[in-house]
Amino acid sequence: MTRQLHLNLFIHGKGHHEAAWRHPSASPRALTDIAYYRELAQAAEAAAFDSIFFADHVTLGEEIGHAAKGGLEPITTLAALAGATSRIGLIATASTSFTEPYNLARQFASLDHISGGRIGWNVVTTWVGAAAGNYGQDALAPHAERYARAEDFLDAVTKLWDSWDDAAVLEDRAAGRYADPALIRRIDHQGPYYRVTGPLNVPRGPQGRPVLVQAGSSATGKRFAARHAEAVFTAHLEQATARDFAAELKGLAASFGRDPAGLLVLPGISPVIGSTEAEAQRLWRELNDLTDAGVGLSRLSARFGGHDFSHLPLDRPLTPEDFPDPAKVQAAQSRAQVIVGLVARERPTLLQLLHGLAGARGHFTLAGTPEQVAAVIEDWFRAGAADGFNLMPPILPQQFSVFVEQVVPLLRRRGLFRTEYGGRTLRGHYGLARPANHIFAAPAPVRALA
C-alpha cells in the first residue's frame, strides 16, 4: 500500500503567530463565536484533511492584555463541531492532571458516539505552573510524577472504555431485554493514584476507543508515547532531528511489542505563504513587527518553569548558559530542549529568538511560495521525518485558505495526499486498526455487572 501523507489542522486563536490577531487579514470573529471554528472545520473537511485539533490551556496567563486568548473549552467545542461536519476527525486536549478518569472516559466515549467515530484525545499532563491554583493545588507535581499519574489515569480510562462488550446492547423489545449484563463488567481498578470501580455508563464507542494522541518529547514523554500513542504531535526545527525522533520513537514502540506502523509522527509546521518568496518574507516581517516583547518573555519564562529572562538585553546574542538546564526544567522539558538547541546552533539575539518563537512556539516555520512549502513537506515525508504534518497556519483563516487553495493541489499532483475520504472514522483516516477489547478478549475472572 502506498504511504499516505496525513494532514491535521491545529486551530489556535486567530492564528499561530502570537501577533496574528492584530493583522488585518485575521478573522474579525470573537474567539467565543462557534461559527469561527465551524467554518474552519468545514473548510478542512472540504479539503479532506484527516483531522482538526484544539489544544487546551487551563489557565489564562498574564499576557492577556496583549495576546488573543480566552477561546472556547475544547471538549464542548468538539461536540458542537461534530454536528456541523460528517467526515473529518476531531481531536481535543484534556489533562490527566486536572480531571478524573471516569469523567474523561464518559466525555470522550460520548463524543465518539456523537461524531460517529471521529474523536481523538490528546493526552497531556499540564506543564503550566499557574494552572495548579485553579484546581486547589499549591503546585504542579514534578515532571516524572505527572507522567506516572498519567500512566495510571490512562490505564483506568482504557479499562472503562472496554467495560462494555460491543454486543452488550441488545434492545430486544420482544423479549424485554435491553442489554446483556454479562457483557458489561466492573473494572475494579486499583492503581497507585486512582481507584475506579466502573463500569462506564456509556457503551463502547464506534472506534472502540478514541485515537490516542500525545505530544511529549522528553525522555519520559517519548516512552509514554511509545507505549500508548497512535499519533504524536511534535516540534522540530530541522529535518534531521525530526527524522531521528521518528526513528527513535518507532524503535521504542517496537521494543514494547507494538507495530511501529500504528504510531504516526506529525511534526508541527507553520508556513507563511506568498505568491513570491519576497511577498512571504514581507508578511513574516509584518507579523513580527506587531509582536509585543513582554508577551514573548512571558511565554518563554513559562516554558522554563517561571525563569526570569527580563534582565537579558534584547539585542545581545544568546548562549545556552543564559538558560536553565532543560533536563531539570519541571515545565515543558522537550520544548525547553528545542529552544536551547536552537540557541546553541544559531546564537540569535533575544529579540530574534522571541520573533522565532512568536511564529509557532518552537515548531518549524518557513516563509515561501506554495511550491517551496510543498517541496519541504514532500522532502520531510519521503525522508521519514514525518508521516504527515500538524499544520499551524500563522493567520486564520487567511493562511489556511492559501494552503488549501495553492499547496494542497501540489501535494495531490505529487501523489502524496488524498482527493477524497476513503472512510468515515478518524482511525480509518489514519490507517489505524480498531483496538481489541482487552477485558472481553480475556478468559477473565473479571466480575460481571450484577
- Give, in order, the Cα–Cα distances in Å from 236 to each of 54, 68, 112, 200, 441: 20, 25, 31, 38, 39
Look at residue 298 in the predicted model and tell me its pLDDT.
Answer: 80
Number of Cβ within 10 Å of residue 3's Cβ equals 13
Look at residue 126 in the predicted model and tell me its pLDDT.
Answer: 86
Look at residue 391 in the predicted model and tell me its pLDDT.
Answer: 98
Cis peptide, bond prior to residue 271, ω within 30 of zero: no
Q: How far apart, in whole angstroms, are the C-alpha atoms of residue 128 and residue 41?
A: 28
> Angle formed by the axes of helices 350-360 and 277-289, to 10°?
110
Over residues 344-373, the mean pLDDT reads 87
How does pLDDT run across 164-216, given as a tens digit for each residue?
Answer: 999 999 999 999 999 999 999 999 999 999 999 999 999 999 999 999 999 97
Over residues 140-156, the mean pLDDT reads 94
How does pLDDT run across 386-405, given as a tens digit for each residue?
Answer: 999 999 999 999 999 999 99
How does pLDDT run across 417-438, given as a tens digit for each residue?
Answer: 999 999 999 999 999 999 999 9
Look at residue 338 in the predicted model and tell me its pLDDT.
Answer: 79
pLDDT at 264 > cutoff 80: yes
Band of residue 342 on the pLDDT scale cut at 50, 70, 90: confident
Band of residue 333 on the pLDDT scale cut at 50, 70, 90: low
- Give, in order, the Cα–Cα distances in Å from 10 to each of 2, 7, 15, 29, 90: 25, 10, 9, 18, 10
CA-based radius of gyration for the chain:
22
When the pLDDT of each residue in the chain is averaged and rounded to a whole number, the result is 92
- CATH architecture of the domain 6-273+364-441 equals Alpha-Beta Barrel (3.20)
Helix (H) or strand (E) holding 429: helix 426-430
Look at residue 231 in the predicted model and tell me its pLDDT.
Answer: 98
Look at residue 328 in the predicted model and tell me its pLDDT.
Answer: 79
Q: How far apart, in whole angstroms, are the C-alpha atoms of residue 30 and residue 45?
A: 22
Band of residue 448 on the pLDDT scale cut at 50, 70, 90: very low
212 is written with which cell numbers?
490516542
How does pLDDT run across 230-259, given as a tens digit for each residue?
Answer: 999 999 989 999 999 999 999 999 999 999
Look at residue 450 in the predicted model and tell me its pLDDT.
Answer: 40
Q: How far apart, in whole angstroms, are the C-alpha atoms of residue 229 and residue 207?
A: 15
Look at residue 445 in the predicted model and tell me its pLDDT.
Answer: 46
Q: How far apart, in whole angstroms, are the C-alpha atoms of residue 282 and residue 340?
A: 27
pLDDT at 384 > cutoff 50: yes
How does pLDDT run across 265-315, given as a tens digit for each residue?
Answer: 999 999 999 999 999 999 999 998 898 887 778 878 877 878 889 888 888
Instruction: List the domain boundaries for the chain.
Output: 6-273+364-441
Look at residue 332 in the predicted model and tell me its pLDDT.
Answer: 63
Cis peptide, bond prior to residue 28, ω within 30 of zero: no
Over residues 137-165, the mean pLDDT reads 95
